[in-house]
């Protein structure tokens, strides 16, 4: 598991993330992480959720020879109005007294403010909504089979996100899950596991 700066037990963020923080992390930090594990010549099976799904897609576009297959769950390719609405609602929930969201993040992150505000501030920064888009970086560069998963009730995005992946890369299977929000691994765990195992098993 790749724990990015500002997340998990990694070093907290020291300054606002730039608009292209996902691109930078996919181009430099992810390959450095894999190389440190001795995986320079190992075709990879990647699974990413949310920002992690966007990272996996970008890594596969930058280094197509290094990825055998990929699962992108609740990915972001561009910013939608529902994204901004969801981000603002998350900020209100996080800043409540005795916030359940803050408590939930504390189970996984040593510095919850770093983890939350690094993401939330970047996406709500003026100008981000109208300019951030990774479709051009994916178009024509993905080579591996992709399984794109999204909940139909995702509070941060519509199914347009995963449909855009298939338009950019025909070797993409879509899995839209009913009764499912931004965390399919929690809301529809059995379907996520079974389809992921099937997707990766075909590429071993």
**Total tally of structural domains belonging to the chain:** 1
Instruction: Write the pLDDT tens digit of every residue in 110-132.
Output: 999 998 998 999 999 998 988 99
Look at residue 58 and tell me if it is in a domain.
yes
Look at residue 153 and tell me if it is in a domain.
yes
Judged by DSSP in three states, 130 sits in: helix
Query: What is the model's pLDDT at position 2?
Result: 67
Instruction: Write the pLDDT tens digit of every residue in 23-65.
Output: 999 999 999 999 999 999 999 999 999 999 999 999 999 999 9
| Percent of the chain scoring above 70 in pLDDT | 99
CATH number at residue 126: 3.40.50.1820
Look at residue 3 and tell me if it is in a domain.
no
Look at residue 26 and tell me if it is in a domain.
yes
**Measured over all CA atoms, what is the biggest interatomic distance in the chain, rounded to whole angstroms?**
49
Look at residue 88 and tell me if it is in a domain.
yes
69: β partners: 45
Look at residue 43 and tell me if it is in a domain.
yes
Instruction: Write the pLDDT tens digit of every residue in 157-195.
Output: 999 999 999 999 999 999 999 999 999 999 999 999 999
pTM for this predicted structure: 0.94
Instruction: Write the pLDDT tens digit of every residue in 96-107.
Output: 989 999 999 999
| Residue found by looking up tokens 């504390």 in the block | 106
Expressed as residue numbers, the domain containing 25 is 21-201
Token readout for 111 is 């510095």
- Write the CA distances from 126 to 3, 84, 130, 132, 164, integer angstroms: 27, 11, 9, 11, 24
Look at residue 2 and tell me if it is in a domain.
no
Look at residue 90 and tell me if it is in a domain.
yes
Query: What is the model's pLDDT at position 151?
Result: 98
């Amino acid at each position: 598991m790749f724990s990015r700066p500002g997340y998990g037990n990694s070093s907290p963020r020291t300054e606002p993330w730039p608009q292209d923080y996902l691109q930078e992390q996919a181009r430099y930090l992810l390959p450095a992480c894999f190389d440190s594990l001795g995986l320079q010549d190992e075709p990879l099976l990647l699974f990413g959720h949310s920002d992690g799904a966007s990272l996996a897609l970008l890594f596969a576009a930058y280094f197509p020879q290094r990825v055998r297959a990929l699962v992108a769950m609740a990915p972001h390719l561009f910013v939608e109005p529902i994204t901004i609405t969801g981000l603002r609602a998350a900020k209100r929930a996080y800043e409540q007294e005795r916030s359940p969201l803050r408590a939930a993040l504390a189970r996984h992150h040593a510095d919850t403010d770093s983890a939350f505000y690094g993401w939330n501030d970047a996406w709500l920064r003026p100008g981000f909504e109208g300019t951030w888009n990774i479709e051009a970086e994916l178009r024509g560069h993905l080579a591996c089979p992709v399984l794109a998963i999204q909940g139909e009730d995702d509070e941060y995005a519509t199914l347009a996100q995963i449909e855009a992946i298939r338009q950019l890369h025909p070797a993409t299977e879509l899995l839209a899950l009913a009764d499912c929000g931004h965390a399919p691994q929690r809301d529809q765990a059995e379907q996520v596991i079974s389809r992921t195992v099937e997707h990766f098993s075909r590429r071993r």
